[in-house]
Amino acid sequence: MILDREVMTVANLLSRSAVVASVLSGVSALAGTPDEIRVPGEIPGTVLHAEGAQIYECRPDTAHQLVWQAREPTATLMDGDKSVGRHYAALHWEAVDAGTLMWEHKDGSSVKAKIVAKAAGRNADDLPWLKFGVITQSGDGLFYGVSHVQRINTLGGVIRGACQQAGAFRSVPYSADYVFWRVE
């Protein structure tokens, strides 16, 4: 009986240690987050890593010069080495809305959010760090109750070079961490 209690105590401690380790890994991912994209008064719920590509389209700017413009991201959301979801741009009237992005988890939950703030990436080749305000959410899974999403720790994703032909597409690999925030 005493041995069973000791085994249960050890199992309990190990379980709590795993929770603490998970929280601490999320906290370390947040270290150094710029003030522009902080989420005061809320708690980080989940941090997922993303591997994917930023897709660009060659289009005329307001001065009628052809430039690469961000079209949409497409990425796999990872929890450790497991694929747990995807990230992409939302469609609006059958056209891509680059300002409204989606995150879907394999448990069926999802969030749709718009960019509300940005900060520079660590260097010129890294996508900016972003804060998104959630517009809608669905499902009772991991993303239930999420109010904000941050994109941090970006690596790559910025396009270089001139575009020559309107309508051309280019894909640039990137990785990032996405932090899903909840109201306390």
Residue 14: per-residue pLDDT:
42
pLDDT band, very low/low/confident/very high, at 94 (cuts 50, 70, 90):
low
pTM: 0.81
Residue 13: per-residue pLDDT:
42
Structure tokens at 30: 């947040």
Alpha carbon distance 66, 57 (integer Å): 10
Residue 90: per-residue pLDDT:
80
Of the candidate ranges 15-19, 114-118, 122-126, 161-165, the one whose mean pLDDT is the lowest = 15-19
Alpha carbon distance 84, 61 (integer Å): 37
Residue 97: per-residue pLDDT:
62
Write the pLDDT tens digit of every residue in 175-184: 999 999 998 7
Is 169 exposed, middle or buried (CB count within 10 Å of its CB: 0-12, 13-18, 19+)?
exposed
Residue 99: per-residue pLDDT:
74
Asked if pLDDT for residue 15 goes beyond 70, the answer is no
Alpha carbon distance 160, 90 (integer Å): 25
CA dist 157 to 25, 49, 175, Å?
A: 24, 15, 8
Write the pLDDT tens digit of every residue in 33-46: 999 999 998 999 99
Residue 184: per-residue pLDDT:
76
Asked if pLDDT for residue 20 goes beyond 80, the answer is no
Asked if pLDDT for residue 23 goes beyond 50, the answer is no
